[in-house]
Amino acid sequence: MPEPRTVVIAAFPGVELLEVTGPAEVFSVASRLVGGDAPAYRVEIAAARTGPLPTAAGIALVAERALAEVGAGTDTLLVAGAMAGAMAGADGRYEAVVDPEVVGWLATAAPAARRVGGVCAGVHLLAEAGLLAGLPATTHWLTAGQLAARYPDIAVDPEPIFIRAGRIWTCAGVTAAMDLALAMVAEDHGPAIALDAARAMVMYVKRPGGQTQFSVPLSLQASADDRVDELRRWIDEHLGERIPVEAMAARMNLSVRHFARVFRTCTGRTPADYLEAVRVEAARRLLEESARSLPDIAAASGLGSVETLHRAFRRRLGATPAEYRRRFRPHATAR
């Protein structure tokens, strides 16, 4: 019988609870689905010292291994994270906690593992250990700016749920750790087992790494101009209609040129780019949640034709609508 794959989750006091327990549960469920006389995975929590490990949630975990005891034979090494700051962190006051003991240990432990993953703010510990130099990486959107500023040699992308760069994996915030673990299960045992694990855990969907961390409207802060926020709400309610830039400008009682400048200043996007982005997002939801035909989805989302739908998906998601649907609704047939 094959030996279980050992997954070590490195943690430290104040770690985010779900960043440890979420991946652990995914690997546990996958083990039961794979079956056999031995589990497919063995998950261990390691910290600087064994024993009770306080978490940010106020619930203590138990570190059964000391970092120094983790040796050869580790298949997958995950580093959980934590953020310091008040809940007002959306204004940039959240900072990733970089635990020096874990960082120092990574220098010798990471090269011995088959694959290494940073979970949420745990990505910052991989960066501090020099494991991400020259690589693309993602992390929680609240600390992505901090990561990019401190480590300019890392190609930080705050949008994806997770990124794989060879044997190094990085993922976004908190629950994205479960998506990362599912992707690892898919690599080890095939996508069917990973999808069954997602269903068993009643996860909404096994999301591909390229899916954004949050919706297009949520990715934009509230505008200083109430008219822009009202326009965005109106666009969302009229996606299936033709919405020329002249109509958007008229709703704000501005000339087209002045409107384009105001909209871009407030949102960071041109009106055309924003409109296509929200239409692609609407089309994605329909592909995920319904069995509607591609012409129906193109019309309902305002993209108009299947050809335009294809072009927009290729440009923004790097996949065709049919490919996207197969990942989210594997038993559905695109028409």
Q: At what angle do helices 321-328 and 306-317 cross, to 10 degrees?
A: 70
Residue 14, strand partner residues: none
Amino acid letter at 272?
A
Q: Which of 113, 121, 112, 158 is nearest to 136 (CA)?
A: 158
Q: Which two tokens stand for residue 31?
A: 């083990």
Residue 156, strand partner residues: 137
Task: Compute the mean pLDDT over every residue in the chain, rounded to the nearest whole number.
Answer: 87
Q: Which two tokens stand for residue 151?
A: 């480590």
Among 197-201, 259-263, 286-290, 300-304, the range scoring the smallest mean pLDDT is 286-290
Among 49-58, 81-90, 266-275, 281-290, the range scoring the smallest mean pLDDT is 81-90
Mean pLDDT for the stretch of residues 253-281: 91
Considering 68-72, 102-106, 235-239, 289-293, the range whose residues carry the highest mean pLDDT is: 102-106
Q: How confident is the model at residue 206 (pLDDT cuts 50, 70, 90)?
A: very low
Phi, psi dihedral angles at 34 (to 5 degrees): -65, -40
Q: Which of 185, 106, 204, 123 is nearest to 160 (CA)?
A: 123
Q: Residues 6 or more apart from 5 whose CB is under 8 A from it?
A: 40, 41, 42, 75, 76, 188
pLDDT of residue 162: 87
Domains of the chain: 5-200 (3.40.50.880), 217-328 (1.10.10.60)
Q: Please report, rounded to a whole number, the percentage of residues in the chain having pLDDT higher than 90.
A: 61
pTM of the model: 0.67
Calpha distance 258→5 (Å, rounded): 59
Residue 77, strand partner residues: 8, 116
Q: How confident is the model at residue 329 (pLDDT cuts 50, 70, 90)?
A: low
pLDDT of residue 131: 97
What distance lies between CA 100 and its chain's CA centroid? 25
